[in-house]
Structures are given as structure tokens and as C-alpha cells.
Structure 1
Amino acid sequence: MDDTILNKKRKIIHLDMDAFFASVDQRDFEELRGKPIAVGGSPDGRGVVATASYEARKYGVKSAMSSIQAIKLCPHLIFTRPRFDVYKQVSDHIRSIFYRYTDLVEPLSLDEAFLDVSHDKQHIGSALEIAKRIKREIKDELNLTVSAGVSVNKFVAKIASDMNKPDGLTFIGPSKIVTFMEELPVEKFFGVGKVTANKMRSLGIFKGLDLKKQSHVDLMRWFGKSGDFFYQIVRGIDNRAVVPNRIRKSIGIEDTFPNDIGQLDELKSILEDLNSRLYLRLEKGGKWGRTLTLKVKFEDFTVLTRSISILEIFKHKEDMYQVALSLLLKLEFDKKVRLMGISISNFRDESNDRFEGYQLSLFDD
């Protein structure tokens, strides 16, 4: 590969707090330390897990898992109520540490962010040294650990941060990116969920090297717009900038099904799962909006979106589900469904309690 396509001058760090909500709770309450805990959910089986401590993860408990399943895996699991006001305060402190080194900070949620330290404020020069200092300062000032990935682009830095959790630090330099990408299992690629990973494996694509052998035309045919992303990224091409103060207009989640679905009961069950996963994302990001949108793609690739806006914000999972279900039931299912998703938008601006939009009624896109 001609590695001139790699921007070797960029220095990108991805920082991801380790089991953030659970770690904060264990730090603050001595009786929780060393115990398997789940933030969110409940011992009566209602709800889903927002974050699991590493002690709980040893039993297979993980975020977005139903409480019922989590209890089956770990009967002595301790459930704690989320304290988002505390997590937000801790997150703000962490972010202030990031800003000591660069103003190019792109938060992804309360517990992770990209930093561009190509020209750092303290003239340290080494991204690896900056990552070490940030890790040390977070530990000293907050008694928490963070995992860091360091590379020349966002994609590789993000994957690197997950390689040696918890409290990890992984550097993948330009000379190693080609080999790294070729050896990477496809399910580790950003944007590759279970359905896409299964489709790739059915096509004989198991690692980056297999993906690299596919033509751009075939990848676009098989995976649509994502095919172009896969074609670029497996070659180490990721020129996305770290964007500070990024304003998210919506937060959503969607699934493409391995087989088209025509049964309403099955779609209702999938919708409930999508709703639970979306609620977790909203909680994690501390973002609450008042417009809910349902997206459905049919077997013939036609797409329908339906939205409802309310005067207050959506802040209860059951309210979200009932609204999403009402939108689903209004659709005519004369065709099978291949994709379904829901999103929340029209967020409240917490600084002045206004909203990023003005739609007040049911509308169709």
C-alpha cells in the first residue's frame, strides 16, 4: 500500500473511561467496591443495564442487557440507581483535564472523547506522553481510570483504546496500521453490528484482509453507503477531523434484519428492544428531546419516517415506547420490513432551557 494516504502528521487520542457509571459508584460507596454491580435496571427484572462493573462483566453482564438476563448470568448482581447529576459533574472535570492539552476536543458522550493533539498547548509534542499525563491526572484527581488509544486517525485510535481495557494505553503508529487493519476481525470495525458481521462472514469476509480484497463496486452493492466507508477504512484512510463543540441534532438506533419480517408481533418486540437501547444512549449522553421519529425500510427499499413531538421532553422509557408503538401501528404492512429504527431529536438546550427546534405536532417526512 502507498502509505502516503496516511496523514502521519496528525496525532489523535481516543479516551474512554472504564465502566464509567459503575466505577464512579464504586469509588463513592465502599460497600460496592469489588462487587458485581449494574447501574440501571432493577432486581425485579425490569429495565436494562446501563453500565456493568468489571466484576459483573466476568459473568457476561454488559450494557443494554435486560435485567432478567443479567440476573440469570449473575444472581448476586447488585443494582444501583443512576446518578446522572454526579456523572455529569465528574465528566465536566475530566473534560477540563483534556482542555489543558488541546482545544480540539470532540466529546462522544459523558465518558469518551477524541482529542487532536497535533499542536498541543503545552508543546509536549508526543501524543503518547500526553495520553500518559491525562491518565495520571484523572487517576490523581478523580480516582478513576481511563483507557487511551493513540494513532494518526480517529478510527484506529478508537479501536486502540478498547484493546487493553481497563486502564489501557495502546499506540498504533503509521507503520503498523496496514497490518493492524488487515488482521482486525470484521466485527471490530466501526459500523459493523451483528447483522452486518454475519453478512460479511456469509460472503467469506472474516478479517480486514478479506475485506480489502473486495472491490469498491461489490462493497457498495452489498452494504450501500457503508461499503464506501469499509473500502476506505480498511486501507487506513480516515481523514475525519476532530470537531469540537459538535452539536448533535438527533440520537438514534436502527437495525437491519438478516431476514425481512412481516409479522407485527415480531416487529413490536424488536421495537421494544430498540427503544431500550436508545434510552440507554440518551441517559449516557444526558440528552433529552421532545421529538420521536420512527423509521421503517421495506423489502423493496422504500423508506417511511413518522414523527411525533410533545410539549415536554421524552424522559421515560415507557413513554417513548408507547409513542413509537403508536407510530408503528399507524403504518400499513403490505410489504415485509428489512430495517427499523427510532431516534430522538429537538433536544433541550440546558443552558437556557430552550429547544433546538419548533415542531409541535405530528408530521410526516
Structure 2
Amino acid sequence: MKIVGKQIFLIDGQSFYASIEKAAHPEYSDRPIAVGDPSRMNGIVLAACPLAKSQGVTTASRVGEALAICPELVVVRPRMHTYIQISLLISEIFESYTDLVEPFSIDEQFLDVTASQSYYGPPFEIARRIQEHVLMSTGVWTRVGIGPTKVLAKMAMDNFAKKTAEGVFELSFDRLDSTLWQLPVKSMFMVGSAMNRHFARMGIRQIGDIASMELSEFKRRMRWEMGKQSDIQAEYYWQTARGIDPSPVMREIRQPLKSVGHGKALRWTLYGRLCDIETVLLELVIEVCQRTRRHRYMGSAVCVSASETDGTRTRSFSRQMKLQHPTALTHEVAAAAHQLFIKYWNGRPLSHLSVTLSDLTDDDVLQLTLFDNRSRAYDRERAIDLIKGRYGSTAIMRASSLLEGAIAHERSEQIGGHYK
């Protein structure tokens, strides 16, 4: 077989969480299913099966709203650990067809199947084999976007494969004028609502409007709309419209950490008192410092971000300060985080709070001080880390985590803010 050019897949699991729950609950095969917390009517729907979507249930809608729209809806509590395990299983399936597999999200992965064609046939045949393999192994139906570059594979999946019965679509360079370029510009990868408004003011309605322009002309228009600093954005969008993407499918995508952060969405009606907020702030700092130590880093800057509301007015702030010396000690980061929060908090209840440690350096050199035994403090915190690593994050806790506003117990049962 003569192989010409790259053949790259972007494979997406349809309604991933909901599909896993349907496979686990055959009694719900003919029922609309949504994944969310059934005990929180104000919580969001994380995923909805196609049947639920056909009845008006959408991802990110409120659970209570979804039940009002679709009274027969079955709301299933999320199981994040299970979803991660199945995502890893799907990765193993992909790796049986090609060694070039790059995760894009928990339910999306890139595959370079260029060399696999010699063993498994043309791209459409490989796609169908993979679809059947994943469906039989996990109960998840997958959609496959095919293209000569990663960005074309992604846009083929998002804009076309999801809308076809077979769930497979190819975007090739010689068909862009009759396919991709006919779509509204908001359908282009990485064009959000704000960028779409910029393009509308520039008279750009379709992706083809960008692709048909010379780069110099597009840069000129972008500068007029967005300023001189827009040249890099202009080049990116111009290349994306033409399907140009030199980035390869990478087996190893881990990059050195640049920052470590943790955040928590809060029920604003419960977090109006400073004492409750301070408890959460400390618990987030504990998580940030523990993770920073685990990766053998220290940070030189701490950032606190928060959203406050009284139910009608909403305000957010994000403020950063440099630390006296690099650290991953809880008491040092907590003191800086508390100082930042007190300085910029307006006193309204919080709906979100996060802490980030950045400007990371290796922890092989520790700055000593005259009045604190920082070396002993590190030994103590690393001993606590070992206990938590062996027996769980709640094996040893601060007394403040037993207070009413504490979230440590709840977070110990969650992954990414959702139940394991």
C-alpha cells in the first residue's frame, strides 16, 4: 500500500461519563441518563446521554432544570475514578493499533495511524475497527475525526464526525473549500465568543474568509481590531483556517511544572464568615504545598483568586505576591495567602476560592534563616506526607478540618471536584 502524507485521528467518546453509566446500568438502556449529583438540584450536569440531549437536557445545565425539562431523567452520581480507569483502558486499545497515542482530555485522544495502514488497511477501516473494539470493551461509542494534521482531525471530529451516523469524517487539504471553509468562523478550533465578536466586527463570517486572505492582510485587519500585539494570534488563526499544524502526535506530553494550584467552588450561602473562609483557605494551601513537595519543588510566588457574591452582585479578584524565599512549607504559604485574601476581599460571601504557588524551583537547596528551623519543618511536613500517602489524605489532619466549614473530608472523596 502506498502511504501518502500523515493520517491522524482525534477520537472522542460520545457522552463519555453517561455512556459508561449506561453500560454499567442496563436497566436504564431506554431511559435518559445524566451524570451529576442528584442530591444537589443546583449542581451541574456533567454529561447527558444522546436520549437525554434529544429531550433538551444539556451539559452544564442545573440538575433541577434538567429534571424540570425531562421528568423521567435518571441522574447518576459521578464516579471519577471509574471514568479515569476506563479512559486508560481505551488508551491501551488505541495503543494496540499505533504506538503514537496522545491524550487530549479524559475522553479525547490523538492517534497517528500513518504507519498502521500497512497492517490494518486505510484510515476509514482502522477507524471502524477501533470503534467496534472500544464499544465491545467499554460500551462507549466513539467518533473519529481524520486529517493530515492534528488541528484538522480535531475540527473534523467536532464539526462533522459528531453529526454523522457512522461517526467518522475526514478533512483533507483538497476538500477544505467545500467542507471546513463553508462553516461559520465560530466553528474553528479555539474561537470563543469573544474572538467571534472580534471577527464579526472585521466582517469575517466564515472560516474561508480567513483562509482566502493573505497573511499580511489578515494581520493588518487584526491590528486594526485588536492592536499591534495581535500578530501572533493572527498567524495562529490563519494557519488553523488552512489546517496548518506542524505539531506531531506525542507519546509523552508531560512538561515541567510551572505552577501548582488547587481551587474549590463553594456554596456562597455557607461561606460569608471569615472564619469559615479561612478554614478553606488553609486546606487549599495544605493541598498545594503537599503536591509541590511531592514533585520536589518550592515556589517563590503565591496567588489567591476568589469570586464573591451576594446573590445579585458578583466580583472576582486574583492577586499575587512574591515570597521572601522559595518555599513549600504550609505555614509560610498560608501566611502569604491569608495576607493577600484579607487585603483584597470586600466582605461578600465566596462562590470560589483558589490558591496557586508559582515560580517553581527544585527543592535541593533550602534557604536557612536565623529564627526558624526550616529544615526541621520540612522533615515534619514530609513525614506527614508519607502518612497521607500510605493511609489516605484524612489519616492525619489539622483540627481546623473538623470545623463546620471545612472541605478536607469532602475533597478526600473526590477527583477533580467530583466524586470518585
The structure carrying a bigger helix percent of its residues is: 2
1:48 counterpart SS class: coil
1:191 counterpart SS class: coil
Between the aligned partners of 2:320 and 2:95, the Cα distance in structure 1 is: 40
Q: 1:100 to 1:122 in 2, by over 3 A?
A: farther
Please, what TM-score do these two structures have when normalized by structure 2? 0.58
Q: Which residue of 1 aligns with 2:203?
A: 204
Between the aligned partners of 2:356 and 2:103, the Cα distance in structure 1 is: 19
Q: 1:188 to 1:91 in 2, by over 3 A?
A: same
1:33-112 aligned at under 5 Å gives the runs: 33-42=29-38, 44-112=40-108
Q: What are the Cα deviations for residues 146-200 of structure 1, in whole angstroms up to 9, with x where unaligned?
A: 0001110111111212323375011222311244332121111111112222332
Q: Which residue of 2 aligns with 1:159?
A: 155
Using the TM superposition, give the Cα deviation of residue 102 of structure 1 relative to its aligned residue in structure 2, in angstroms.
1.4
Q: What are the Cα deviations for residues 85-136 of structure 1, in whole angstroms up to 9, with x where unaligned?
A: 2212221221111111211111012211001112228633522222121112
Please, what TM-score do these two structures have when normalized by structure 1? 0.66
Q: Which residue of 2 aligns with 1:306?
A: 320
Between the aligned partners of 2:202 and 2:180, the Cα distance in structure 1 is: 19
Q: Which residue of 1 aligns with 2:233?
A: 226
Q: 1:171 to 1:62 in 2, by over 3 A?
A: same
The answer (yes or no) to whether the contact 1:41–1:66 under 8 Å persists in 2 is: no
Q: Which residue of 2 aligns with 1:244?
A: 251
The answer (yes or no) to whether the contact 2:218–2:234 under 8 Å persists in 1 is: no
The answer (yes or no) to whether the contact 1:289–1:345 under 8 Å persists in 2 is: no
Q: Which amino acid aligns with 2:73?
A: L
2:11 counterpart SS class: strand
The number of residues matched between the two structures is 286
Unaligned runs of 5+ in 1: 1-7, 253-264, 266-287, 297-302, 313-323, 334-340, 347-351, 355-365
The answer (yes or no) to whether the contact 1:91–1:110 under 8 Å persists in 2 is: yes
Q: What are the Cα deviations for residues 220-254 of structure 1, in whole angstroms up to 9, with x where unaligned?
A: 554534332111111221112112221265799xx
Between the aligned partners of 1:251 and 1:153, the Cα distance in structure 2 is: 31
Unaligned runs of 5+ in 2: 262-267, 269-289, 293-301, 308-316, 331-336, 347-352, 359-387, 391-420
Q: Quick check: which has more Rg, 1 or 2?
A: 2
Using the TM superposition, give the Cα deviation of residue 79 of structure 1 relative to its aligned residue in structure 2, in angstroms.
1.3
Quick check: 141-150 or 60-69, which moved more?
60-69
The answer (yes or no) to whether the contact 1:105–1:114 under 8 Å persists in 2 is: yes
Between the aligned partners of 1:307 and 1:133, the Cα distance in structure 2 is: 53
2:218 is the counterpart of 1:215: yes
The answer (yes or no) to whether the contact 1:289–1:344 under 8 Å persists in 2 is: no
Q: 1:238 to 1:164 in 2, by over 3 A?
A: same
Using the TM superposition, give the Cα deviation of residue 219 of structure 1 relative to its aligned residue in structure 2, in angstroms.
2.5
Q: Which residue of 1 aligns with 2:167?
A: 168
Q: Which amino acid aligns with 2:240?
A: I
Between the aligned partners of 2:136 and 2:236, the Cα distance in structure 1 is: 39
Q: Which amino acid aligns with 1:153?
A: T
Q: CA RMSD in A?
A: 4.1
Q: Which amino acid aligns with 1:217?
A: R
Q: What are the Cα deviations for residues 11-56 of structure 1, in whole angstroms up to 9, with x where unaligned?
A: 1001000101101101111232222222124364232111111112
The answer (yes or no) to whether the contact 1:100–1:121 under 8 Å persists in 2 is: no
> Which of these residues, 6, 27, 30, is aligned with residue 26 of structure 2?
30
2:254 counterpart SS class: coil
Q: Which residue of 2 aligns with 1:357?
A: none
Q: 1:93 to 1:330 in 2, by over 3 A?
A: same
The answer (yes or no) to whether the contact 1:119–1:125 under 8 Å persists in 2 is: no
1:123 counterpart SS class: helix
Between the aligned partners of 1:130 and 1:48, the Cα distance in structure 2 is: 36
Q: 1:134 to 1:183 in 2, by over 3 A?
A: same
Between the aligned partners of 1:123 and 1:220, the Cα distance in structure 2 is: 49
Between the aligned partners of 1:251 and 1:149, the Cα distance in structure 2 is: 33
Between the aligned partners of 1:202 and 1:26, the Cα distance in structure 2 is: 45
1:215 counterpart SS class: helix
Q: 1:131 to 1:342 in 2, by over 3 A?
A: farther
Using the TM superposition, give the Cα deviation of residue 304 of structure 1 relative to its aligned residue in structure 2, in angstroms.
6.6
Q: Which amino acid aligns with 2:91?
A: R
Q: Which amino acid aligns with 1:64?
A: A
Q: State the percentage of identical aligned residues.
A: 29
